[in-house]
Amino acid sequence: MPAFPVRPVAAVLLGMGLGVAAVVVAEREPPIAPEPKPGWAQGAGLQPLLRPNPQAASLCAAKLAVRERPTPADPTNFGERRPTDAEGGLVPNQPSVIVLHETVMSLGDTLRFFQTPHPRDADQASYHLLLDRRGMAYRLVPDAKRAFGSGWSAWGDGSIRHRPLSSPLAGGSINNVALHLSLESPADGRGDDDAHSGYSRAQYERLAEHVLIWQLRWGIPMRRITTHAVVDRSHSRRDPRSFRWEKFDRAWLQAASSCGISAEGPYGLDAMPQV
């Protein structure tokens, strides 16, 4: 594989030389969900639930020394977060759901696939981030763009249709509001078995850090973190197989503690649902 430059996310977000001595999110006034926007044509349940805190996200990224390797996907494999649906009605288009995946293929094959032009809609796919077995994060698609990680999909009853009903691809999707992160599968996970040997400790640790930063940056509570298997409406996706939520939870608590985020706060594992 060619050597890609590695850049710290903190440097991009904060600029060189910015101190991170006080990486604490004040929770005396917890983030408040924005008022529901009336008139959504579709996806009324997919609007953000908490107020974004990009400053806290930047400070947390610096504290954790989070790094990403720029590995951009071909432009045919991602698009814009659209403000309207197929009929021109307003729809949510800010990240509000985090979807976890696995590659099934090797790291090299996965990166080559996303960097290959795919003119046909049916062949287009991408994630925002990919974590290899060592925990290195590959940045494929910017957060602000729409990655094609979940085709026919829904979060509960929430989905957004961007194609006319006459189209064979008319099924709704949550890609307009989703952030997609994939874990490189182990060598014994590249077939179609029900399970495999699982993900590395480094993958769980880096996954928790990136998820926490996304939560802060976009106002995403823990209950909006899900898997491809859960949101898929074709009933054909099962990833990430062999994922262990208890390992993720432990890693998340460690990352949150480093950033001064309370588990009882609005982002945490024990946060109470907000209506």
pLDDT at 191: 83
In this structure, which amino acid lies at residue 100?
Answer: L
Per DSSP, the three-state class of 218 is: helix
Answer yes or no: is pLDDT of 12 > 70. Answer: no
Q: What is the pLDDT of residues 156-190, one digit of tens each?
A: 889 998 776 766 556 789 999 999 999 999 999 99
Q: What is the mean pLDDT of residues 97-118?
A: 96
Is the CB of residue 159 less than 8 Å from the CB of residue 43? yes
Q: What is the mean pLDDT of residues 69-80?
A: 97
Is the CB of residue 239 less than 8 Å from the CB of residue 233? no
Q: What is the mean pLDDT of residues 67-91?
A: 94
pLDDT at 22: 34
The two structure tokens encoding residue 222? 């823990």
pLDDT at 152: 86
The two structure tokens encoding residue 153? 């999909």
Among candidate residues 100, 20, 27, 106, the one with its CA nearest the CA of residue 266: 27
**Measured between alpha carbons, how far is 188 from 104 in angstroms, rounded to an integer?**
9
Q: pLDDT confidence of 88, banded at 50, 70, 90?
A: confident
Answer yes or no: is pLDDT of 271 > 80. Answer: no
pLDDT at 275: 36
In this structure, which amino acid lies at residue 68?
Answer: E
Q: pLDDT confidence of 196, banded at 50, 70, 90?
A: very high
Q: What is the mean pLDDT of residues 50-72?
A: 97
**Measured between alpha carbons, how far is 184 from 114 in angstroms, rounded to an integer?**
14
pLDDT at 169: 59
Answer yes or no: is pLDDT of 151 > 70. Answer: yes
Among candidate residues 244, 251, 246, 241, the one with its CA nearest the CA of residue 206: 251
Among candidate residues 94, 95, 107, 60, the one with its CA nearest the CA of residue 203: 107
Mean of per-residue pLDDT scores for the chain: 85
Q: pLDDT confidence of 11, banded at 50, 70, 90?
A: very low
Q: pLDDT confidence of 26, banded at 50, 70, 90?
A: very low
Q: What is the mean pLDDT of residues 87-100?
A: 94
Answer yes or no: is pLDDT of 264 > 60. Answer: yes
Answer yes or no: is pLDDT of 18 > 50. Answer: no
pLDDT at 63: 97
Long-range residue pairs from 112-118, CB within 8 A, at least 24 positions apart, any chain: 114/71, 114/73, 114/74, 114/77, 114/140, 115/71, 115/72, 115/73, 115/74, 116/74, 117/74, 117/76, 118/74, 118/76, 118/77
The two structure tokens encoding residue 166? 């006459």
pLDDT at 38: 56
More confident residue, 8 or 19: 8
Q: What is the mean pLDDT of residues 232-243?
A: 92
Alpha carbon distances (Å) from 107 to 60, 67, 71, 141, 190: 27, 18, 12, 16, 11
Answer yes or no: is pLDDT of 7 > 80. Answer: no
Alpha carbon distances (Å) from 238 to 180, 181, 185, 194, 226: 15, 15, 13, 8, 12
Contacts of 155 (CB under 8 A, 6+ apart): 45, 46, 97, 174, 224, 226, 231
Per DSSP, the three-state class of 54 is: helix
Which helix H or strand E contains 228, and what residues bound it?
A: helix 228-231
Facing residues of 146 across strands? 79
Among candidate residues 3, 119, 15, the one with its CA nearest the CA of residue 58: 15
More confident residue, 20 or 129: 129
